[in-house]
Amino acid sequence: MLNTTFYITLFLLSLNQLTSVYKSGESNFYLFDFAVIFLAWYGSFYFLLVRKSFKLPKFSIMFLIFTVSALASLVFSFNKFSIEQFVVSGFYLVRWAAYLVSSVVIFNMLDKKMISKGKILNALIVSGVLVSLIGFIQLLVIPDFTKLSPNLGWDPHKNRLASTFFDPNFVGAYLTICLTIIIDRIFGDKKIGRFDIAAFAIILLALFLTFSRSAWAMFAVVILIYGIFRSKMLLITAFLMSFMVYFAVPRIQTRISGITDPADSASLRIASWKNAYKIIKDNFWVGTGFNTYRYVQKQYGFLTPDSENIRSGAGSDSSLLFVFATTGILGFVFYLSSYTYCLVGGFRKRNIKELVVFSVMLGLLVESLFINSLFYPQILFALFAILVAF
């Protein structure tokens, strides 16, 4: 039952925005969220009451402390928001907790040998292939997001693979995580088969077609780490291929040179960082309350009537700034300590030829400077799954 629940949950996570079942105001409810909550609830019940054993991985204890601080920040902000806004923000805290608990459930499934590490990683790779294939279809059917209703809140991407995520940057990060698992197999002691090679080619092509600079940067970090610790030839090959592709595909040149364009999204991110800094300065100690960022941006006048419905309005274009602004200095320190603990732990494991955790977490940290990737549901689930698997 738990194994089936895990696979169904990952399948629904892969379908992402296609599982939207209800929208109320600025909130969306998805089947994958309910699946994760069920996995966390049912798994906890099973291990506590049936198996009489429920072990906590060390990283979960660190993140649990952050969760308590996030709850405290939300409680302190009670009088600043309407009941509806407070409840919506509270639901997102419940969702965060559910994803954390679901990782503990998966950890116990591994501990009790109910599922193997290989099956978890294979499931993530299959998920990456599924997301990629749907992305190819999306490029054929809906290549231009400007034709979608502005009320849906999606950014106007053109000819970029966004798949079920409807966002090239987030799907790019997810695909990079899947690619890292395969790269670890290629340059590790594990045998790779035709499926791994085919999956790598499919997912790599999908990542390229996102034309996401932040996702490419994350993948570059992964390649750099594996190149340093596993194969110098990987670095040379990656550099030569990047060099050739850069000059062969004009759009890549446009994306790279666009960083200095005032109208480009990279410049808009700088404005987002400045807004976050102002909010942090005014709410330094306890923050504005976990996931109240959209409402606070409205109060500060950072969201115009035309931009109030955009999906990115709920967070800053930097995960760490988002944490600092909404949970204050204590929440920021607790979260950064938790993340650093996992990052350092992953680096120490390089001696046993497993760099997945270190490369993924460092790559995500780099990408999270540009998008709020560390709190994106699909990325969060995959990250926690990797943490318990390794």
Regions of the chain with pLDDT less than 70: 24-26, 189-190, 243, 246-248, 253-267, 304-315, 349-353
Asked whether residue 72 is domain-assigned, the answer is no
pLDDT score for 262? 44
Residue 213: CB partners within 8 Å, gap ≥ 6?
255, 256, 259, 266, 370
What six digits make up the tokens of 149? 């209703």
The total number of residues shown for the chain amounts to 390
How many Å apart are CA 291 and CA 89, to the nearest integer? 5
pLDDT score for 313? 47
What six digits make up the tokens of 223? 């390649």
Asked whether residue 78 is domain-assigned, the answer is no
**Conformation bin of residue 363: beta by default, left when phi > 0, alpha when psi is -120 to 50:** alpha
pLDDT score for 143? 93
User: With the CA atoms of 354, 358, 361 and 366 taken in that order, what torsion angle do they form, in degrees rounded to the nearest 10?
Assistant: -130
Q: How many domains does the chain have?
A: 1
Neighbouring CB atoms inside 10 A of 58's CB total: 10
Domain that holds residue 315: 108-263+305-389
pLDDT score for 238? 83
Among 305, 343, 297, 337, residue whose Cα is nearest residue 320? 337
pLDDT score for 379? 98
pLDDT score for 241? 81
Asked whether residue 223 is domain-assigned, the answer is yes
Asked whether residue 21 is domain-assigned, the answer is no
Asked whether residue 297 is domain-assigned, the answer is no
pTM: 0.93
